[in-house]
Amino acid sequence: MNTAQRYEFFAEHEARGHSECYERWSREIAHDDQILALIEQLPTDKRQPNLILGAARYLGAEPSEFTDFKPWLIRHWAAVAETAIARRTQTNEAGRAAVLLPALARIPGPLALIEVGASAGLCLYPDRYSYRYDERVAIDPADGISDVVLTCATSGNPPLPAELPNVVSRNGVDLNPLDVENADDMRWLECLVWPEQQHRRDRLRAAITIARTDPPHLVTGNLLDTITDLVAQAPSDATPVVFGSAVLAYLDPASRLTFERTIRTLPCRWITNEGVGVLDSVTTRLPHSPSTTRGSFALSLDGHPLAYTGPHGQSLDWIAAGHA
């Protein structure tokens, strides 16, 4: 997929219906040779729409028509490119906990959570959030409704738990972990939330507040080099659970395969929530072809597909039968 196609795909399959501004900007960029030429000066992994548009907003770009945004982007391109090189698309959407929860509920606790591609670690708090499935099933922490309430539409009758998991440790790894106590790191996370999605911005701020009361342990490194040690360090009386959302897509195919082979040798459970087509071993077991599920994620437990999910945890389409 070339750069123009990446922006057209992002507009159609990710931003459409969720951010009018990002859909408009991305469609126009996909057909603008001048802007495409600037973006293509960057390394391939730094040309992502979320990264470039997030960097622009981090530097002060406001939602506007493309006729206003284009000259702004050209004028500030050096700073946008510098920010894109220095930063990563570490969205850290706490809403994904809503689709991870049914998978976590299948694992005997207590749980020692280990997140790969953890960003600031906000998905390491599934026991501290409240959940509302289809506006009818409510699941709250034992001490009452959380300041973070995650809503999720479901289909396929997913097995929703009656109570939240018992989490006894929260660890993660990231190439560039973000510190919940660092104001600039948290401003970057806010800029990765799409312009019209104030509810996500509010939810992010509330999740940050929760994390600050009990910061996660995050290590800097490559997940391939660190995962074995992180699993070994889990409390002996807990079940280690390695999980990640939208992270394995950033590995090359050979590294993904190496990671999967490594995970399967470790004494842990493994949850993935990745774009359809990212993991071949999961994709080949899905009931629909990737061409009919573009823009969706696939949730799996130990390599067994459980559900299709919305990229930000907004939907859960359960496909598993019985117990994985």
Answer yes or no: is pLDDT of 146 > 90: yes
Q: Domain limits of the chain? A: 3-86, 94-318
Measure the CA–CA gap between 187 and 294, rounded to whole angstroms: 30
Pairing label, strands 111-116, 167-174: parallel
Cα 154 from chain centre:
19
Q: What pLDDT, on a 0 to 100 scale, did the predictor assign at position 48?
A: 95
pLDDT in tens, 229-264: 999 999 999 999 999 999 998 899 999 999 999 999
Q: What is the CATH T-level fold of the domain 94-318, as seen in this structure?
A: Rossmann fold (3.40.50)
Q: What pLDDT, on a 0 to 100 scale, did the predictor assign at position 324?
A: 42
**What are the angstrom distances between the C-alpha of 44 and each of 39, 152, 261, 278?**
9, 33, 27, 17
Q: What pLDDT, on a 0 to 100 scale, did the predictor assign at position 323?
A: 41
The structure's pTM equals 0.88
CB contact at 8 A, 92 and 178: yes
Answer yes or no: is pLDDT of 149 > 70: yes
For the ranges 72-76, 252-256, 293-297, the maximum mean pLDDT occurs at 72-76
Radius of gyration of the chain (CA): 19
Helices (H) and strands (E) in the chain, counts: 12, 11
Q: What pLDDT, on a 0 to 100 scale, did the predictor assign at position 290?
A: 59
Q: How confident is the model at residue 293 (pLDDT cuts 50, 70, 90)?
A: low
Phi-psi category of residue 279: left, alpha or beta, with phi > 0 → left and psi -120 to 50 → alpha: beta
Measure the CA–CA gap between 11 and 21, rounded to whole angstroms: 10
Instruction: Over range 38-51, report the average pLDDT.
Output: 96
Task: Select the more confidently predicted residue: 212 or 289.
Answer: 212
Q: How confident is the model at residue 295 (pLDDT cuts 50, 70, 90)?
A: low
pLDDT in tens, 203-223: 999 999 999 999 999 999 999
